[in-house]
Amino acid sequence: MKNNLLPLGTRDEFGRRAVAKQKIISVIQRHLNQRGFSVISTPLLEKQEVFDQYQLGNYQMYRFLDSEGDTIVLRPDMTLPIARFLSSTNIPLPQKFFYVGDIFRISRRLSGSYNQLTQAGIELIGYDSMKAELECLTIISQLSQELLKKSIEIELGIADFAPTLLKFLTTDKRLQDQIAQALYDKNIPEYSKLIQQYSDLPQYQLLKKWPRLFGDPTTVFAELNKFDLSFELESKIADLKKIITWIKKIMPEQNVSVDLSSRAPQSYYTGLTFRGFYQDGNDYLFSGGRYDKLLANFQDQTEPAVGMGIDVDMIADLIVPVDKSKKVMIYFDKDQWQEAEAKLKELPDGMLSLSETKADAQIEAKNSNATLLDLTGDDKLE
């Protein structure tokens, strides 16, 4: 049975990627230590009930039974275990924490996703000030510059924009979920069909525009200004504008966009969300937001909080170039060792075959995606 926890690749690629990941982690740890964050860690194994009420994306968890018959899981997320841990301690708040660790998720087959991911992140617990979000955005900008040597695009959103808008249309929770799901999936035919029943309402024109409410902030806000929004939505948009104004003032070179038509990174987010993605890639390197109600699931009293995850594996994939050069594996007899060493020095992509026979060396070269150089025969590449 194949182990899908690790990505495919050659030994050399694994080695270079592992070194890159350690360097990335060192940079992140140094940066966060300098900003006054305290390290926090949680167990790899957690009770399944910690994650039960949250939809953690398009993946499943690794489940086991302990000696008492309870279901335990390999942690698929870091924030929820930290929330559970904080609720069981008397640590005074507010506090700024950071973590580095592996999370485990069973991704869809052939999705191209890893099942074991290294994630770093921060949790700002007990802060209701907008400064907590601004701290996260600053860290995204600074780390992207240090690790990637260029800035990434920061995409801002509002986690509860959809439920806030939809609750003024209908009290049918099932219908609200159906509309939101079609919107998030970009299933425009289904979305158009669902909203058609509201064609007589003033909100209908906004609903028609909703799937395209993303991109340049000025353009998105100009569209929203055409509609009479509820006070609650206006307040959320006002906060979003304040964030964008701050970014343009403090980080004028930072690219920023808005997306009000996509799902929040996690279901437990309640306010501003932010994601950072490399312009040459399709997925997010940084992802976070405000989650003011999360601790209430583990204790009587809730606490304001903002958190952010950093995808170490994805950053490593960007830093480590794809090695397209062909390796050369040198096959030789034991009495040709000095000749093989000399040839190894000549070839920047060379490696020694330690196989006893040429047939075994051919298999070794194939497994390493290398061309075989036979010093025992015609000294030709195969």
Tell me the domain boundaries of the chain: 1-159+273-323, 161-253, 328-374
Specify the pairing of strand 305-311 against strand 327-331. Answer: unpaired
pLDDT in tens, 275-309: 999 876 567 899 999 998 876 656 667 789 999 99
So what's the pLDDT on residue 111? 44
- Peptide linkage before 348 cis (omega within 30 of 0): no
- Kindly list the distances between the CA atom of residue 252 and the CA atoms of 131, 156, 246, 247, in Å, as whole numbers in the listed order: 18, 16, 9, 7
Identity (one letter) of the amino acid at 196? Q
- pLDDT above 70 covers a percentage of the chain that reads 87
- Indicate whether 58 pLDDT > 70: no
User: Between residues 133 and 93, which one has the greater pLDDT?
Assistant: 133
Radius of gyration (C-alpha) of the chain in whole angstroms:
26
So what's the pLDDT on residue 172? 94
- Kindly list the distances between the CA atom of residue 192 and the CA atoms of 89, 142, 198, in Å, as whole numbers in the listed order: 49, 41, 10
Identity (one letter) of the amino acid at 17? R
Helix (H, G, I), strand (E, B) or coil at 155: strand
Measure the CA–CA gap between 196 and 276, rounded to whole angstroms. 34
The separation between CA 244 and the C-alpha centre of its own chain, rounded to angstroms, equals 22
Crossing angle of helices 11-34/131-148, nearest 10°? 140
Does this model's pTM top 0.85? My answer is no
Structure tokens at 235: 């307040």
Residues 6 or more apart whose CB falls under 8 angstroms from that of 268 comprise 54, 79, 80, 291, 293, 294
Residues 6 or more apart whose CB falls under 8 angstroms from that of 246 comprise 134
Rounded mean pLDDT of 100-116? 72
Phi, psi (deg, nearest 5) at residue 170: -155, 150
| Class for the domain spanning 1-159+273-323 | alpha beta
Cα-based angle 276, 257, 25 (whole degrees, multiple of 5): 10
- Numbers of helices and strands, H then E, in the chain: 12, 17
What secondary structure does DSSP assign to 8-38, as a single string? ---HHHHHHHHHHHHHHHHHHHHHHHHTTPE
So what's the pLDDT on residue 18? 86
pLDDT in tens, 123-171: 999 999 999 999 999 999 999 999 988 778 999 999 999 999 999 899 9
So what's the pLDDT on residue 158? 96
- pLDDT above 90 covers a percentage of the chain that reads 59
- Kindly list the distances between the CA atom of residue 24 and the CA atoms of 154, 305, 320, 345, in Å, as whole numbers in the listed order: 20, 26, 11, 31
